[in-house]
Amino acid sequence: MEEFHCMNHPDRAAVHQCSRCGKPLCDECYNPEMQTCRMYCNSLSTTTTTAPQPKNTFWQIVVALLAIVGALALLLAAICGAMIYSY
């Protein structure tokens, strides 16, 4: 049976595995909160959480435009309805 060793401490046996990169880790190098290695994927996950923010603003603009188009359509429908009733 093959025994894995921590990627930072070759003298220590790996008791955990990073859920992102799959590297073997010892207790000291493993982050139980993120289930990742502390030195690479822990810092990567913090940068990826800030990355999707421009996407959110893009969808906020799309939703705002749809709301404006919807409001204009309602206004047009109201004007058409008033014109029909005026006849």
Residues that bind Zn ion in the complex, under the rule CB under 5 A: 6, 8-9, 18, 20-21, 26, 28-29, 36-37, 40-41
The residue among 51 and 84 lying less far from Zn ion, judged by its C-beta, is: 51
Q: Indicate the Cα dihedral angle 57, 58, 64, 69, nearest 10°.
A: 180
- Least separation in angstroms between CB 55 and Zn ion: 24
Q: Which residue is nearest to Zn ion (CB)?
A: 18
The whole-angstrom separation of Cα 65 and Cα 33 is: 39
Angle at 41 between CA 46 and CA 5, to 5 degrees: 155
The whole-angstrom separation of Cα 4 and Cα 14 is: 5
The residue among 13 and 74 lying less far from Zn ion, judged by its C-beta, is: 13
The residue among 19 and 60 lying less far from Zn ion, judged by its C-beta, is: 19
Residue 44 contacts residue 27 (beta carbons within 8 Å) = no
- Least separation in angstroms between CB 47 and Zn ion: 14
- Least separation in angstroms between CB 29 and Zn ion: 3
